[in-house]
């Protein structure tokens, strides 16, 4: 097979049109067509990029002779450490969203205690509903991963790749436990988490061990399909989680401070513009953005993402200082 025939073969196998392949390489559809007809030859840089897109080596792409079909079946398993990593990367963001909704519901409750109107009650109801839904969903995901972790030494996975779908088979103690047929067009998203691919399709989520995939495995071509969104999710450790929690808490610090001030005003029964005398209450939430700034500096020294913590900390610390100082000037 010529180079052009191989490009056409791998492109069709990856279910990519000439135009889509051209967009990935920043060339025109006509250029791809001319490559496949052996009228022109791609540059060395484009050959390397083509090999990466097709998940083959440059030698396989450039060598003479026919293409050897790769094994269309893989068998793999997971240890408890790998499952724990995926669990942390999956559950941590949902836990933070749940915590933020809980804080929002708490602020709505404070608002109801100071202003008993229908709008505050409606907001509180929606916040509580969203909080309970996310809490149930997060706990359910955590339960699923805990079950997988407890059975990891007894479970093996087998995937058979066909032209338009894959067959997922799960074995428990060497006995068939689950069989699912997944169409490639039904796969929505693939998360890349350390050595694991977390695949989301319509009605099913499953994991694939990256170390079990040989070069040229049909699964790797899915990473370049335009209908599948591929995301790289970093593993979270204690410092990363603390940074995210403080960032969210900083965004809420001004609203929490206002909620505390509303509760104080209701307790002392202040009316009119006399509330200005109690704006100093906002200082109670000032430590949150300050802590976010400090942690951001620590993250910067460790060469970790830090800008969000420092920027949010500076902005909300300034706002709390500004609004909290009204009692000095009015």
71 C-beta neighbours (distance < 10 Å), count: 10
Q: Give the pLDDT score at 288.
A: 92
**Percent of the chain with pLDDT strictly greater than 70:** 86
- Residue 47 confidence (pLDDT) above 80: yes
Higher pLDDT pick, 275 / 211: 211
Higher pLDDT pick, 289 / 145: 289
Calculate the alpha carbon distances from 226 to 34, 47, 159 in Å.
22, 20, 22
- Asked whether the beta carbons of 219 and 161 are under 8 A apart, the reply is yes
Q: Give the pLDDT score at 237.
A: 59
Average the pLDDT over 237-241 and give the result. Answer: 67
Average the pLDDT over 50-73 and give the result. Answer: 74
- Residue 236 confidence (pLDDT) above 60: no
Per the prediction, the chain carries an average pLDDT of 80
- Residue 216 confidence (pLDDT) above 70: no
The single residue listed with the structure tokens 């920043």 is 26
Lookup: tokens for 187: 């796969």
Split at pLDDT 50, 70, 90, the class of 305 is: low
Q: Locate the DSSP E strands across 73-211.
A: 73-76, 155-161, 165-172, 175-183, 187-193, 196-201, 204-209
């Amino acid at each position: 097979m010529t180079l052009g025939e191989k490009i056409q073969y791998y492109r069709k196998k990856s279910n990519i049109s000439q135009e889509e392949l051209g967009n990935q390489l920043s060339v025109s559809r006509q250029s791809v067509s001319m490559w496949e007809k052996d009228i022109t030859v791609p540059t060395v840089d484009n050959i390397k990029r083509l090999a990466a897109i097709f998940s083959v080596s440059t030698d396989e792409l450039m060598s003479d002779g026919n293409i050897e079909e790769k094994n269309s079946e893989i068998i793999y398993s997971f240890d408890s450490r790998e499952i724990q990593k995926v669990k942390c990367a999956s559950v941590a963001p949902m836990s933070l969203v749940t915590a933020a909704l809980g804080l929002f519901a708490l602020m709505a409750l404070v608002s109801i205690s100071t202003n008993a109107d229908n709008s505050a009650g409606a907001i509180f109801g929606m916040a509580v509903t969203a909080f309970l839904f996310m809490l149930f969903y997060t706990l359910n995901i955590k339960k699923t991963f805990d079950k997988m972790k407890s059975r990891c030494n007894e479970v093996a996975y087998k995937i058979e790749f066909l032209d338009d779908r894959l067959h997922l088979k799960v074995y428990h103690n060497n006995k068939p436990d689950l069989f699912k047929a997944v169409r490639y067009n039904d796969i929505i998203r693939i998360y890349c988490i350390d050595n694991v691919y977390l695949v989301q399709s319509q009605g099913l989520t499953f994991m694939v061990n990256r170390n079990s995939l040989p070069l040229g495995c049909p699964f790797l071509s899915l990473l370049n399909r335009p209908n599948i969104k591929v995301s790289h999710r970093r593993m979270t450790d204690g410092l990363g989680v603390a940074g995210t929690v403080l960032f969210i808490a900083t965004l809420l610090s001004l609203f929490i401070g206002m909620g505390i001030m509303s509760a104080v005003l209701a307790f002392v029964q202040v009316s009119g513009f006399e509330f200005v005398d109690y704006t100093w209450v906002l200082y109670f939430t000032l430590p949150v953005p300050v802590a976010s700034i400090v942690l951001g500096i620590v993250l910067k020294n460790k060469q970790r993402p830090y800008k969000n913590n420092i920027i949010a900390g500076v902005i909300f610390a300034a706002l709390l200082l500004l609004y909290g100082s009204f009692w000095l000037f009015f």
